[in-house]
Amino acid sequence: MLELADNIWAVAGETVPFFTLPFATRMVVVRLPDNSLWIHSPVRLTATLQQRLQELGDVRYLIAPNALHHLFLSDWQQAFPEALSYGTQGVINKRSDLPFDGVLEADIELPWHADIHSRLVTGSAVMQECVFCHRPSATLIVTDLIENFDRQALPVGKRWLAQLAGVVAPNGKTPLDWRLTFYPHKDEIRQHIEQMLAWQPQRIVMAHGVIVQSDAEAFLRRAFAWTGLNARSEEPVA
């Protein structure tokens, strides 16, 4: 477990194949003031990981932030039956075999709101993702909305594919296939990115790729320049 700041950790999971690329996975653990643990995008649960979590606090919330991040949720639900599971409507529809206690949707007050900002990113016809910001550490937490792979960690023969998709560090962004689905509604996603900027994140941790430890605002503006964000932000104020 990598301690990012007080009461927030990143946990590396196994590498899984996706679109022929090796995707290194990562989950985020936040310890809330009542000693409960908020688990974002759970990776495979091992005995060692379970013991470490029990040393940190009580697993209270399990978060499936989009329709792709649900593979290990069942194991976590069985291991922590008292935990509450939250997912986007997309993942809830996809995993009708799993129980969910709440939906990550727009304009609702979630139990952790005092410590973690939440925002449902819309504008794509194929997938929605809920993004978060841990307020005390100013850590923005995203899943697939930004991918930022270390070029050296990719197979030589696949680096061109990652470069084409626009997901190679330090210039990671939304993967090309998903990015294209936002184009009819770029104004909509730009509003979401502006809200993320308003949270003033100091670091960005994503499920796939290199964590951004500094200049988070500049990284966000560069990653979402395709939405027209930078051009809009530079317009003169009347």
Instruction: Indicate the average pLDDT of the chain.
Output: 89
3-state secondary structure of 79: helix
With a pLDDT cut of 70, the percent of the chain lying above it is 87
- Topology of the domain covering 2-228: Metallo-beta-lactamase; Chain A (3.60.15)
Q: How many Cα atoms within 13 Å fall on the side-chain side of residue 78?
A: 7
Residue 234 pLDDT: 42
Question: Residue 55: is its pLDDT beyond 80?
Answer: yes
The per-residue pLDDT for 238 is: 28
Q: How far is 226 from 68, CA to CA, in rounded Å?
A: 23
Give the pLDDT confidence of 6-28 residue by residue, as tens digits: 999 999 987 765 555 556 789 99
- pLDDT tens profile 72-119: 999 999 999 999 999 999 999 999 999 999 999 988 899 999 999 999
pLDDT at 168 over 80: yes
pLDDT number for residue 158: 66
- For residue 33, the model assigns a pLDDT of 97
Q: What pLDDT was estimated at residue 236? A: 32
Is residue 166 pLDDT above 70, yes or no? no
Query: Worst-scoring range by mean pLDDT, 36-40, 46-50, 153-157, 222-226?
Result: 153-157
- Calpha distance 209→229 (Å, rounded): 23
Higher-confidence residue of 160 and 169: namely 169
pLDDT of 199-222, one tens digit each?
A: 999 999 999 889 999 999 999 999
- Sign, CA torsion 157/158/161/165: negative
Token pair of 17 as six digits: 């194949």
Mean pLDDT within 41-53: 95
Q: In what order do the strands lie in the sheet with 203-205?
A: 116-121, 129-134, 139-141, 203-205
Output 168 or 160, whichever has higher pLDDT: 168
